[in-house]
Amino acid sequence: MNVKPIKDEADYDAALTEIAALMDAQPDTPEGDRLDVLVTLLEAYEEKHWRVSPPDPIEAIKARMQQRGLTRRDLEKVLGSKSRVSEVMNRKRPLTMEMIRRLHSKFGIPAESLIQPTIRRRRRRRRRASPA
């Protein structure tokens, strides 16, 4: 089996083409083994060059709420009081480890997303009209 590392986009495209041709290969055959090796190389290249960062925790919570049709009231059962939910969702209070555990177990939000630092949004100051 003559396999070489994927070093650039041309190698990547060639590996994709070969993988497509080998998709019907049976396991434990030379073609199946080649497919396994190529897929592993492809995944390593993608991880190195196109890694996708996990979303901001609040955005991850909002996305899951939308997916499951959840409301802020549903979050109260996991995060605490109505005011606590408001503080967290408005980025005024960070998630605690206990909140992260509960969000992960109750709503299936990946812990990797929840442990990311929350991005604070800057408040825009309104300009006052100058007296004429």
pTM value is: 0.56
In the structure encoding, which two tokens stand for residue 119, read together?
A: 């991005």
The confidence score (pLDDT) of residue 50 equals: 84
Q: Is 82 helix (H, G, I), strand (E, B) or coil?
A: helix
| CATH number for region 57-114 | 1.10.260
Average pLDDT over residues 45-74: 91
In the structure encoding, which two tokens stand for residue 68, read together?
A: 């499951």
Query: What are the residue ranges spanned by the domains of the chain?
Result: 9-49, 57-114
Average pLDDT over residues 29-37: 94
The CA angle 102-90-68, to the nearest 5 degrees, is 50
